[in-house]
Amino acid sequence: MRQTKTLEKFINDFSLEINMEPIGVLSQIVVVLFVGLIVGIIAKKLKLPSMLLLILTGAVLKTITFNHQPIISFSTDFLISTSLLALVMIVFAGSSNFTYRELDTYSESALKIAVLFLVLNMLFLSVSVYYFFSVGSMFLSLLFAAVMSGTDPGSVLTLFQTKTNRIIEILKFESVINTPIVVLIPFIILDLMEFDAGISTGFLEYLFPFLQQIITGIGTGVVVGIIVFRFMKKFYSQKLSPFTLITSALLTYILSESLGGNGVLAVTVLGIFFGNVTVKKKVELQEFSSMLSSTLEILVFILIGFLIPLNLDPPFILKSIVLFMIMILIRFMAMQLVYLRDHVNLKERIFMALNCTKGIAVAVVAFIISNYVLDITVIEEGIRLTHQIPLMNFPGTQSIIDLMVLFILYSILVSSIIARFSKKFIRVTVDQDQ
């Protein structure tokens, strides 16, 4: 009885600490990471995709309550900060792998697939989601279509590991080059949403600030890259160099945003810069970046489980499945067009079309837009006013977020099934060790 009361007191104290700084938040982070580690081990033993189990774990954790209070609960500021940190590292890691020396026949095909899949999604998937789910703004539909054009490099690279095959190499490179693109475009669309509200005052009045964001973002990435990587070219420290790399990526994002630029674009430019310059111990630095990204993945994927809608009605689920099938069809169309005169056979094209796993980038974007605030400038009675309007106030935003989460689940599930039967599609059998 005494042990029961002690346990009850501990749980009660723990749940009361969720709003205390910093012990409460730190305690929950430790719990989440520990649970994520256990789930990762179980997933590896069962040969199941770890991302899927992590998301489901998050969905379970959010339902655990004590005295009608959730045991684990994070503030909005924490979710946004964690998402931004993960976003910066994902974009940097993805773009840093883009080296000009690797632009062989495989990368050329991968680039064609990434661009064509993006274009077709923006044309057809955006229209489908706009009418299927009565989204209030076409910008939101375009945002969803852009995000769904990416494939997760972490899951693709882990799934295929060291297997060598033309199809696998194409999928690997596609996942690397499309990540910064599909993360960048949604933020450009959000900027356009802000400008669109005041378009009646003159398009050029909003075109120049938009161009300024692009130019400032590119300039910030180049300037920081020149300064930092010139120093790192001659100096390496096992302790300081990895810290310098992470700090540079975060500084680039913050500096660009502070100067009115696009932070995501700035980090993308910095990553490309890093991937194409000579830096001491570059491989070691990339391994450290990968380790940090893995830790963030565990945290973010469990947290994305907190966004899983548990009260969706069957018609919504049914329409989401139909929409997912439309996306697969669009991706297959892209494969057909890219390999119209190529000897890639039908089975290989189907395999590539079905392997379109959505991962950490989509999860991060879902987190950010769920708390995104638009700064909309309007002119009232000759006075320029700026109104801050939460994106969630726009009709259809919640549906877009729900669809993003569901598409992560659908894509992981489909890719996992296809991986188990990979030998029926390609010559190399895929080991599903995640």
- pLDDT tens digits, 218-240: 899 999 988 888 887 777 776 77
In a domain, 273, yes or no: yes
Q: For 86-100, 158-172, 265-279, 385-399, which range has the lowest pLDDT when averaged over its residues?
A: 158-172
- 8 Å CB contact between 192 and 138: no
- For residue 414, give the H/E element and its range: helix 397-420
In a domain, 30, yes or no: yes
Q: What is the CATH number of the domain that holds 229?
A: 1.20.1530.20
Identify each DSSP E strand in 242-395 by its residue range. 373-380, 383-390
The rounded distance, in Å, linking the Cα atoms of 211 and 227 is 24
Tell me the pTM.
0.73
In a domain, 429, yes or no: no
Q: How far is CA 88 from the centre of its chain?
A: 10
Q: What is the pLDDT of residue 42?
A: 87
Q: For 77-91, 323-337, 410-424, which range has the lowest pLDDT when averaged over its residues?
A: 77-91
103: containing domain: 2-424
In a domain, 270, yes or no: yes
In a domain, 14, yes or no: yes
In a domain, 342, yes or no: yes
The percent of the chain in helix, strand and coil, each rounded to the nearest 5, is 75, 5, 20
Of 431, 434, 417, 433, the closest CA to residue 351 belongs to 417
Q: What is the pLDDT of residue 196?
A: 57
Most confident of 26-35, 378-387, 422-431: 26-35
Do the bridges between strand 373-380 and strand 383-390 make them parallel or antiparallel, or are there none, so unpaired?
antiparallel
Q: For residue 158, name the pLDDT band (cuts at 50, 70, 90).
A: low
- pLDDT tens digits, 326-342: 999 999 999 999 888 77
Q: What is the pLDDT of residue 67?
A: 76
The rounded distance, in Å, linking the Cα atoms of 309 and 326 is 22
Q: For 11-15, 135-139, 305-309, which range has the lowest pLDDT when averaged over its residues?
A: 11-15
In this structure, what token pair is assigned to residue 240?
């300081």
Q: What is the pLDDT of residue 41?
A: 86
How many domains would you assign to the chain?
1
- pLDDT tens digits, 342-351: 777 888 889 8
> What does the H/E/C string look like for 59-93?
HHHCCCEECCEECCCCCHHHHHHHHHHHHHHHHHH
In a domain, 430, yes or no: no
In a domain, 73, yes or no: yes
Q: For residue 117, name the pLDDT band (cuts at 50, 70, 90).
A: very high
